[in-house]
Amino acid sequence: MVDRYGSDVLSGDWKKPPRGRSQEVVVERGMVIEDASTGFCGEVMAVEKDLGMMILEDRRLVRRSFPLGPGYLLEGKPIVARPPSAATKATATRTASGSRAVRGARARVALPSRIYVEGRHDAELVERVWGDDLRIEGVAVEYLGGIDDLVGIVDEFAPTAERRLGVLVDHLVPGSKETRLAEQVSGRPHVLVVGHPYIDVWQSVKPSRLGIDAWPTIPRGQDWKYGICRELGWPHSDQTDIARAWKHILSRVDSYADLEPEFLGRVEELIDFVTEPSA
C-alpha cells in the first residue's frame, strides 16, 4: 500500500545535509530548465522580474509560465531560479549588429529616406539586429505586405537625392517573380533594390540556431511556412501556429552572428545607401 505521508523524516542520518542541495542560479534567456514537479522542460523565453515569473517553451513550442524560486532542474541538478539583477548585467559595448554601442544617445528624428521590406517578419528581424543602429541614424524601416506593385510604390515615394529609398526583397534570384519586379525599377535614381536568395526571411536565420543541419526543402505548390512547420514537427494548423513558429525562430537570434551573410550584407548595404550624405 502506498504511504500517503512518506517516510519518517527523523529516520536515518537526518543531521546530514540532503544530497543535491539546490544551488541558486540567475535565470537567463536560452537556458533549458525543467520543472521538477511536472516534468515540463523548456527553454527560458523571458524572465518577468516584476511578476516573479519565467516563461518556458518546450520542443513542441508550448509555452508555460512558472514562478521563480526552488523546484527546478538545470542539467539534471536542482536549482533555485533567481531573476537577473542590475548588478549581474554587464554593460554591452557592441550592438546586436556588431557596431560600437553609443550609451545615452537619444534616437534621432527620422530621416526622410526610408528602407522598405516585404513583410512583418522581415521588419522584426531587421529591428532585432539593427534596431539600435537605425535609431541612432534616424532610419525608419517599413513593411509593404508584398512587392507586386513595386513600380507604384516607388512612384508614390518619389525619391530624391535627399529622400532616398532602399528596398529589401525576398527570393531575388534569376527567373523569380521578385527579380522581374525589381528589374522594373532598377536604374532609377536614388533607389536601391537589393535582395537575398532565400524563399522567406526565415531561412536567413542559420539552421544551427534551431538545432537543425539545414532548412527542410518544401515542394513547389505547397505553402512554404506551413511546410516548414510540418517538417520540423511544429504545430501548423492555422496562422496562429505560424506566428508562434516565427516568434520561436526570432527568439534564437541574438546578434548578426546568427544570420546568414547573404542577408547581413544586403541590410548593411541599404543602411549605407539611405544614410549617405547627398552630393
**DSSP readout, 72-122?**
EEETTEEEEEE---GGGSPPPSB-TTSPBP-TTPPPPPPPS-EEEESSHHH
| Contact present, 170 and 198 (Cβ < 8 Å) | yes
Q: Number of C-alpha atoms within 13 angstroms, CB side, residue 173? A: 8
Q: Which residue has the higher pLDDT, 16 or 203?
A: 203
Q: What is the predicted pLDDT for the residue at 206?
A: 95
Calculate ∠ Cα 257-259-263, nearest 5°.
130
Q: What is the predicted pLDDT for the residue at 75?
A: 85
pTM: 0.68
Q: Which residue has the higher pLDDT, 174 or 86?
A: 174
255 CA to centre of own chain: 9
Q: Which pLDDT tens digit goes with each residue over 11-57?
A: 444 444 445 578 899 998 888 899 998 999 988 888 887 778 898 88
Q: Report d(CA 279, CA 277) in Å as an integer.
A: 6
Domains of the chain: 23-83 (2.30.30), 93-204+263-279 (3.40.50), 206-252 (no CATH)
How many Å from the N-terminal Cα to the C-terminal Cα in the chain? Answer: 88
Q: What would you report as the CA-atom Rg of the chain, rounded to the nearest whole angstrom?
A: 24
Order of all β-strands in the sheet with 23-26? 23-26, 77-82, 69-74, 32-35, 41-48, 53-57, 63-67
- Check whether 147 has a pLDDT greater than 90: yes
Q: Report d(CA 214, CA 271) in Å as an integer.
A: 29
**% of the chain exceeding 70 in pLDDT:** 83
CB atoms < 10 A from the CB of 59, how many? 13
Q: Which pLDDT tens digit goes with each residue over 92-108?
A: 566 666 666 555 555 45
- Check whether 175 has a pLDDT greater than 90: yes
Q: Which of 52-61, 102-111, 194-203 has the lowest mean pLDDT?
A: 102-111
Torsion of CA 165, 171, 177, 182, to 10 degrees: 20
Q: What are phi and psi for residue 139, nearest 5 degrees? A: -105, 130
